[in-house]
Amino acid sequence: MDIAFGIKDAIDIFLLALLLFYLYRIMRESGTLSIFFGILAFIAVWVVTSEILGMRLIGTILDKFMSIGLLILVILFQDQIKRFLVVLGSQKRWKFIGRIFKRDKAVEDETPWIMPLVNACMNMSRTKTGALIVIEKSMSLISYEKTGDAIDAAISSRLLQNIFFKNSPLHDGAVIISEGRINAAGCILPVSHDSNIPRRFGLRHRSAIGISEATDAVVVIVSEETGGISVAYKGNLNADLSSTELEHLLADLINEK
């Protein structure tokens, strides 16, 4: 029997490949890539054993497992699935639709607030004022914002220094920045339990690494003990940064696609 292959079939295959690639990118950013590969591996085994090799016993077992597989995935990976859906529904991810209708407008600097942030960090470094600043990217940080106090203010060097002033009631928590504004302060972050983190780094650094492991946020830390400035991103820590290094690193990471 001849099977006709037309333009619709080519488009169908292309759209499926595009969908899989897009899902791969989102899961990689949300830290759920292992689930993606696990599901693909299971489907491949299921197709080979039941459809190609015709193994009835294994095929029947896998068929039953497939019927309840979604429920099992939700139970076992509820945190990862929640993180994936947050990334998928992020407003930032769909901004390209708006840009299509704004091509004729000049490109504006979307991060003019980096310099006030850098200046605040340098001033706090000189006075050894501890600080923890989380900058949201594509993954929503709303659940962490709820652990602190809402602020919703424009970013300024003076405001950041006042928040982390040693007598301030908010200085022990983290500041969360989103869309160029300070959304909340005094926020509680997850602590990383990575045994490879040097002992000289305290709770602020471990919290910074922890939130960077759970999300794609960029985190700035000012050490209260040494005054050193560090940046955590995707579980990695860049320590002892100068003002120039901090400015360039923040610009690169925040604008990274």
Q: What digits encode the pLDDT tens for the residues 78-110? A: 665 665 666 555 555 555 455 445 544 443 456
**Number of Cα atoms under 13 Å in the Cβ half of residue 40:** 9
Residue 79: its pLDDT value, please? 61
CB within 8 A of 97, min separation 6: which ones? none
Contacts 24+ apart (CB under 8 A), 50-53: none
Local structure of 219: helix, strand or coil: strand
- Domains of the chain in start order, with CATH, are 7-88 (no CATH), 114-255 (3.40.1700.10)
The pLDDT value given to residue 167: 83
DSSP at 164: T
pTM greater than 0.95: no
In this structure, how many other beta carbons lie within 10 angstroms of the beta carbon of residue 75?
Answer: 9
Checking DSSP bridges between strand 174-178 and strand 229-233, what pairing results, if any? unpaired
Q: Are 244 and 229 in contact (CB under 8 A)?
A: no
State the average pLDDT over residues 210-236.
Answer: 92
Q: What confidence tens digit (pLDDT) does each residue in 102-139 have?
A: 544 443 456 789 999 999 999 999 999 999 999 998 88
> At 166, phi and psi to the nearest 5?
-60, -25
Find the distance separating the first CA and the last CA of the chain, reported in whole Å: 47
CA distance 218 to 250: 8
C-alpha 257/C-alpha 247 separation (Å) is 18
Residue 11: helix, strand or coil by DSSP? Answer: helix
> Taking 90 as the threshold, does the pLDDT of residue 18 lie above it?
no
